[in-house]
Chains A and B, each alone.
Chain A
């Protein structure tokens, strides 16, 4: 195995992994505020990509404008989901809310199919299609965009949760929503905010991915699943862990395809995930005691 192939697998893995990590981040944000795992997270990613394509190709906006509109649109969709599907049933047990998010994901997917059709679409890369050669391995400019924006989002979220009063208020809601409301936190507002932020993060992911992976109404299913796996791998509730989990999953898949067999790459990544969960059920970076009271 020559070193340039090795490097190529690593780069492929990092790019793939960032996509999983970005989806995983969205899971973490909502989980941190509500304790709910939002299975419509993959759909937010899809909305980011599909809306960019729609605004750019059907409405004639320039790429930057289309991207901004798409991210705003998806954020609005996140707010709508919270208002219409989660808030009316907020007193139900968490498991009911999780099942509702599955319903929401099917609904959004169906709506996207009816609005934009069943075809796959491409979005132009932000800065050209010419690969950068590095020690015999090819790096796409878009992959650098993905890595940089992912890191930036991760840093911003970290600061938001540990450094701002809103972020801390959101964390407080997930620990004990009753106590949080007693000290004067608007719990419902925080839940709304968490859905909007996670939709925003998901949509940004969808937009920067679309030039690499292409997009269609149903890309959210697989991304959602892989993102969820990344979340579990890194430890639920820890944004850093989620992103790291995504990258690890992506690199495992890529090396699995390169060294073992491309037919078993998904299986290989999930087998390692299972083994890890047997050994350390709280995930790589999860807290030892998952009950945070």
Chain B
């Protein structure tokens, strides 16, 4: 036998070995926006999943089985997301899929999961993902409705009656705008102004001037970085003293860095992840929050973002469902996800049911403010 034949034989041997070896691991798919405009979501989510996979496998896996996470980057693009979903379902034959990072992409692919009968645990927040309930689709982030409820509770306590809203014209902002326009009149407030800005806009003084003219008691801004930082800066630059609420979409240290001094005193609802050390020691989320923050900062040497927490919770919930049912079959994972109750994650305490595939309520949010460049929990 000559050398070339040896090599071919070796390769052939290895090829037959690999599938047999890989069959032992539970395959979990993930579609995340690691690059593109939504990379601020997808990148920490990917890092989180890889870290959790390594931690779990090092600790012996789940039910004695190793876990293999297959991550595809959809580049924040809906077409690439659809292709990745098909690849995971047809080619990789995964048991369950985590992601996508953004709502539009989740809605675009959710129907494939119902027909393939594979559960999808999305890291995107839109209410449409889980209402009405699709038996195969779950999500982990807090809903916009919970955030708006918390803001309006705060506004009511402070005696505001006329509220202005300033929302970004992308999916996140318009979903928030819909909920705001529904809940503001329903809770007895008056909508003083309804302004919009573009995701790439760099100046919102025109909108703020208009809001100033409308005489609002408080402004609610709904967007993700960097837009809200511009709003905060423009508000100070125009000399406005009207209180400004932000959404949970800016609950990261990047926002404080971008807005600088203009961030001082702003109020927003946020998951407990932004102020871990201020969470009381007896709170059910305390241990999981600390473990996540410590693991992430140690592994990647960068600060955590609350967006990575959505992937953390998706992974933890799937593992809980697999451990609970003792099975990694798609249908069993789905059934056992619905049985999860009182499970502490980074974003809140999850209780899924056949009618509720989000699992959280407004208690998942705390109101925080920014004081001396740091997050401070409000009581």
What is A's interface to B at a CB cutoff of 8 Å? Answer: 1-2, 5, 8-9, 11-13, 15-16, 19, 113, 118-120, 122, 129, 131, 133, 138, 140, 209, 212-214, 216, 218-219, 221-222, 253-255, 257-258, 261-263, 265-266
* Interface membership of B11, Cβ < 8 A: no
Q: Is the CB of A8 within 8 A of B200?
A: no
Nearest CB of A to B193, in Å: 10
Q: Is the CB of B213 within 8 A of A262?
A: no
Which B residue sits closest to A130, measured CB to CB? B237
B225 within 8 A of partner (CB): yes
Bound-state Cα–Cα, A131 to B240, Å: 12
Chain B residues bordering chain A, tally (CB within 8 A) = 33
Spot the interface stretch: B45-53, B112-120, B202-210, B369-377.
Answer: B202-210
1/0 contact trace for B29-43 toward A, CB 8 Å?
000000101011001
How far apart are the CA atoms of A213 and B204 in the complex, in Å?
Answer: 10
Nearest-Cβ distance from residue B86 to partner chain A, whole angstroms: 27
Selected contact of B209 from candidates A122, A222, A258, CB within 8 Å: A258
Residues from chain A with Cβ under 8 Å of B202 in the complex? 16, 19, 209, 212-214, 219
Query: Roughly how many angstroms separate A234 CA and B118 CA in the complex, as a whole number?
Result: 56
CB contact between B238 and one of A138, A209, A213, A258 (< 8 Å): that residue: A138
Contact (Cβ within 8 A) B169 A263:
yes
Shortest B33–chain A CB gap in Å is: 11
Contacts A2-B213, A119-B254, A131-B237; is A8 near B205 (CB within 8 Å)?
A: yes
Closest A residue to B169 by CB, please name it. Answer: A263
B258 at the A/B interface (Cβ < 8 Å)? yes
Interchain nearest-CB distance for A264 vs B (Å)? 9
Q: A285 to B185: give the CA distance in the assembly, Å.
A: 50
Beyond A5-B213, A140-B237, is A261–B196 a contact (Cβ under 8 Å)?
yes
Query: B254 to A120, Cβ gap below 8 A?
Result: yes
B239 touches A (CB below 8 Å): yes
Whether B206 and A9, one on each chain, are in contact in the complex, defined by CB atoms closer than 8 angstroms, is yes
- List the B side residues contacting A265 at CB < 8 Å: 198, 206
Out of B205, B207, B210, B261, name the residue touching A129 (CB < 8 Å): B261
| Residue B134 CB within 8 A of the other chain | no
- A258 and B196 form a contact (CB under 8 A): no
Whole-angstrom distance between the Cβ of B304 and the nearest chain A Cβ: 15
Inter-chain pairs besides A12-B206, A138-B239, 7 sampled, C-beta below 8 Å: A5-B209, A11-B205, A113-B35, A120-B254, A122-B258, A213-B203, A257-B207
Identify which of A11, A15, A120, A262 contacts B226 (C-beta below 8 A): A120
A42 CB to nearest B CB, Å: 11
* C-alpha gap A206/B303 in the complex (Å): 29
* Residue of B200, B209, B226, B238 with most chain A CB atoms under a 10 A cut-off: B209
Per the bound structure, the CA–CA distance linking A187 and B226 in Å amounts to 43
Residue of B nearest to A8 (CB): B209
Q: Give every chain B residue within 8 A of A254 (Cβ-Cβ).
A: 206
Complex contact A131–B230 (CB within 8 A): no
Cβ of A8 and Cβ of B238 under 8 Å apart? Answer: yes
Can you give 23 A-B contacts (C-beta < 8 A)?
A5-B210, A8-B206, A9-B206, A11-B205, A12-B209, A16-B203, A118-B39, A118-B40, A118-B43, A119-B254, A122-B257, A122-B258, A122-B260, A131-B238, A138-B205, A212-B202, A214-B202, A214-B226, A214-B258, A253-B206, A255-B206, A262-B195, A263-B196
A262 touches B260 (CB 8 A): no
B245 within 8 A of A: no
Contacts of B239 in A (CB 8 A): 131, 133, 138
Given A120-B225, A138-B238, A212-B203, are A9 and B261 neighbors across the interface (CB < 8 Å)?
no
> Is B27 close to A, CB under 8 A?
no
What residues of chain A lie closer than 8 Å to B237, measured between beta carbons? 129, 131, 138, 140
- Asked whether B229 is an interface residue with its Cβ less than 8 Å from the other chain, the reply is yes
- Which residues of the partner chain B approach A8 to less than 8 Å between Cβ atoms? 205-206, 209, 238
Asked if B212 CB lies within 8 Å of chain A CBs, one says yes
A255 proximity list for chain B (CB < 8 A): 206
Q: Least Cβ distance of A117 to chain B in Å? A: 9
- In the complex, what residues of A have CB within 8 A of residue B213's CB? 1-2, 5
- CB pair B198–A266 under 8 Å, yes or no, is yes
Q: For the complex, is B172 an interface residue (Cβ under 8 Å from A)?
A: no
With CB as the reference atom, state the residue of chain A lying closest to B261. Answer: A129
Could you tell me if B210 and A258 are in contact, using CB atoms closer than 8 angstroms?
A: yes
> A66 to B198, alpha carbons, bound, how many Å?
30
